[in-house]
Amino acid sequence: MKKIITKILLLVFLFTIIDVNTAKAQTLNQVAQMANAMCPIKLSDGLNITQINVEDDYLNYIYNMETDVNPTQSTKILAQNLEKTKQNTLKTITGQSNFKTLFQILQGHNGISITFMDNNDESTAIKVKISVQELKQAMEQEVSPEERVQILISSSQGLLPLKLDDEISITSISIIGDDVVYVYTINEDLVTMQEKTKILKDPESRKNIIQNLTSDLVSHQQTKIIANANKNMVYKYVGNKSNESVELKITNAELLEALNK
């Protein structure tokens, strides 16, 4: 269950800006040195920031994606939606609380770049560059909490339907009223809807699912965006043969409580 809940929108947060205390830094090199001292940083299973440096006058983040841990996460998949991901990323990172301080230090430099590799293999590397001017333009465009949820969802549409394992695939993500709804298709040859219903109705399972919403940086950020937009989270499981369904709803109040623990 944990893998299913936390890995859905992983690619959205590949560009997470590290919360460096940039107020103590005077130069871009100092920012990179302070941030790099934190590396390697585990964002979630199979996703790590391995190095932060200055390259070609860009503040460069190097991400390693372990495809054996999470096969749905790779530079090939990322490359299919690179420009859209870049635009969504601009709106996401420029809205973070510490970014304005970092942006001041970026003045006079080229901007931010992000290098992605599969399994530390440089031959798979792809790079995204975001100029200071692009960052400035994005900062001038106010993004509402509702729009941040839309960005979260739209960034994943190109990956769907997405097979998570032999038992389950995620087929859609949408906003319905006050709910962010994740729809999963269950392979009933391997697990029955009765078994899935029993798991979801178990209080201990529900408790574990809610705890997993903040178990790593990626999951925490995802949950925070949804909670700040006053949305609930709904997980709907549908049998691939019977078309029977069962839902698990986590209220906005429960999301906020989980974030505050």
pLDDT at 87: 77
> Across-strand partners of 180?
175, 233
Judge whether residue 7 has pLDDT over 50.
Answer: no
CA–CA distance, 107 with 48 (Å, rounded to integer): 27
Mean pLDDT of all residues belonging to the chain:
83
The string of pLDDT tens digits covering residues 102-136 is 888 899 999 999 898 999 999 999 998 999 999 99
Name the residue with higher pLDDT: 6 or 106.
106
CA–CA distance, 160 with 153 (Å, rounded to integer): 11
* Token code pair at residue 237: 């499981």
pLDDT at 1: 37
Band (pLDDT 50/70/90 cuts) for residue 98 is low
pLDDT at 13: 45
Judge whether residue 77 has pLDDT over 60.
Answer: yes
CA–CA distance, 179 with 231 (Å, rounded to integer): 5
Contact by Cβ (8 Å): 46, 70: yes
The string of pLDDT tens digits covering residues 15-39 is 455 554 555 667 999 989 988 988 8
Could you identify the residue written with the tokens 């979630």? 44
- Polymer length in residues for the chain: 261
- The pLDDT > 70 percentage for the chain reads 84
Residue 256: half-sphere exposure toward Cβ, Cα within 13 Å:
9
Q: Which amino acid would we find at residue 43?
A: L
pTM above 0.85, yes or no: no
The 3-state DSSP class for residue 43 equals strand
DSSP 154-211: HTTGGG-SEE-SSSEEEEEEEEETTEEEEEEEE-TTTS-HHHHHHHHH-HHHHHHHHH
> Across-strand partners of 63?
49, 116
Contact by Cβ (8 Å): 180, 234: yes
Judge whether residue 214 has pLDDT over 50.
Answer: yes
Question: CA gyration radius for the chain?
Answer: 19
